[in-house]
């Protein structure tokens, strides 16, 4: 198992700058963010220009990663693959296919994305839409030796009333999406506020061979505030889609997730992939030095539980 980080939080830095910093900070892998250039969101970076990715670019990136002894478990582009606007949805799919092509060129095994949802339609209609739109994407990736993964993020900010906007948020839906050719990017931070036990859900997914990649993000919960707002969060008082009022994302070690049990469960079921820190912590966001400190807190929390690879079969 390797300790990695998702590069999305470091959009102000080049991939080489990210690699250099991550290596000296004790990280072993980069989950590379590949949103379209100019997206602009603080957690959406373009560390590879996949729309114009050449064989020379692939060679340059491989040399860079080798220089810093880093691996890449996945490229990541999470957008709404069931977007209600036909033109917008096709643009998302076109970019996702470019991410898959870049992953194939780099010999990266997975691309992380979302299922998404057409929030104008009920879930039953969305399941039919997914059969039409998602299965061809999974087949496109498989034909290039790449697996498509869906993260279990609810994306409640995509729904006008704060309901799940990404139909991969529960174990019931993990079974469904596996039938479309998707496996799971497991992120435990999305589960406690939904009332789902993250360890039970992880065991369930591991037993079924669904977990291909793990993101490490924590969640801080204020149960007294939940009493005021309810499980779906603020309504009239909400200032932004993410202003739910009773929970917020944190770096590992600053929330309620039991990382000792999460990592031990992964080892117990033979998971040998990457655990990649996803930094969306508002306390440790903002200027680059604070983001770096948040990533150091995450590494210090997780490293005692993840045995680094030594290359020595006799090592414990």
User: Where are the chain's structural domains?
Assistant: 2-219+255-305
DSSP string for the chain:
-EEEEEGGGGTTS-HHHHHHHHHHTT--EEEEEBPPTT---TT--BSS-GGG--HHHHHHHHHHHHHTT-B--EEE----TT-SSHHHHHHHHHHHHHHHHHHHHHT--EEEE-----TTS-HHHHHHHHHHHHHHHHHHHHTTT-EEEEE----GGGSTTS---STTSSHHHHHHHHTTT-EEEE-GGGSGGGT--HHHHHHHHHHTT-EEEEEE-EEEE-HHHHHHH-TT--STT-SSTT--SSEEEE-TTSSS--HHHHHHHHHHTT--SEEEE----STT-SSHHHHHHHHHHHHHHHGGGSPPP-S-TT--
pTM confidence score: 0.95
| CB contact set of 26 (below 8 Å; sequence gap of 6+) | 3, 299, 303
pLDDT tens digit sequence for 30-89: 999 999 987 656 678 999 999 999 999 999 999 999 999 999 999 999 999 999 999 999
Residue 244 pLDDT greater than 50, yes or no: yes
- pLDDT tens-digit series, residues 135-191: 999 999 999 999 999 999 999 888 877 788 999 999 999 999 999 999 999 999 999
Which structure tokens are listed for 182? 């998707």
The CATH number of 2-219+255-305 is 3.20.20.150
Query: How confident is the model over 267-296, as pLDDT tens digits?
Result: 999 999 999 999 999 999 999 999 999 999
């Amino acid at each position: 198992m390797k300790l990695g980080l998702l590069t999305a939080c470091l959009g102000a830095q080049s991939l080489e700058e990210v690699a250099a910093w991550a290596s000296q900070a004790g990280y072993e892998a980069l989950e590379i963010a590949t949103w379209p250039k100019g997206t602009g969101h603080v957690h959406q970076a373009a560390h590879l220009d996949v729309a114009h990715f050449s064989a020379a670019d692939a060679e340059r990136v491989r040399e860079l990663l080798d220089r810093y002894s880093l691996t890449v478990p996945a490229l990541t582009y999470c957008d709404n693959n069931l977007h209600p606007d036909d033109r917008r949805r096709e643009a998302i799919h076109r970019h996702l296919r470019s991410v898959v092509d870049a992953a194939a060129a780099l010999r990266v095994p997975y691309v992380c994305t979302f299922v998404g949802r057409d929030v104008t339609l009920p879930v039953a209609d969305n399941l039919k839409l997914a059969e039409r739109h998602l299965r061809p994407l999974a087949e496109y990736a498989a034909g290039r030796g790449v697996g498509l993964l869906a993260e279990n993020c609810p994306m409640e900010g995509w729904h006008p009333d704060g309901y799940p906007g990404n139909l991969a948020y529960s174990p019931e839906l993990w079974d469904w999406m596996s039938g479309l050719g998707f496996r799971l990017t497991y992120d435990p931070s999305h589960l406690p506020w939904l009332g789902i036990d993250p360890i039970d859900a992880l065991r369930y997914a591991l037993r079924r061979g669904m977990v291909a990649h793990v993101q490490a993000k924590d969640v801080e919960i204020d149960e007294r505030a939940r009493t005021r707002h309810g499980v779906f969060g603020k309504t009239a008082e909400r200032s932004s889609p993410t202003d739910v009022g009773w929970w917020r994302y944190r770096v590992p070690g600053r929330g309620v997730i039991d990382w000792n049990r999460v990592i031990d469960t992964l080892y117990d079921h033979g998971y040998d992939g990457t655990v990649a820190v996803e930094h969306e912590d508002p306390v440790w966001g903002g200027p680059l030095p604070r983001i770096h400190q948040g990533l150091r807190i995450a590494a210090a929390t997780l490293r005692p539980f993840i045995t680094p690879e030594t290359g020595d079969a006799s090592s414990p």
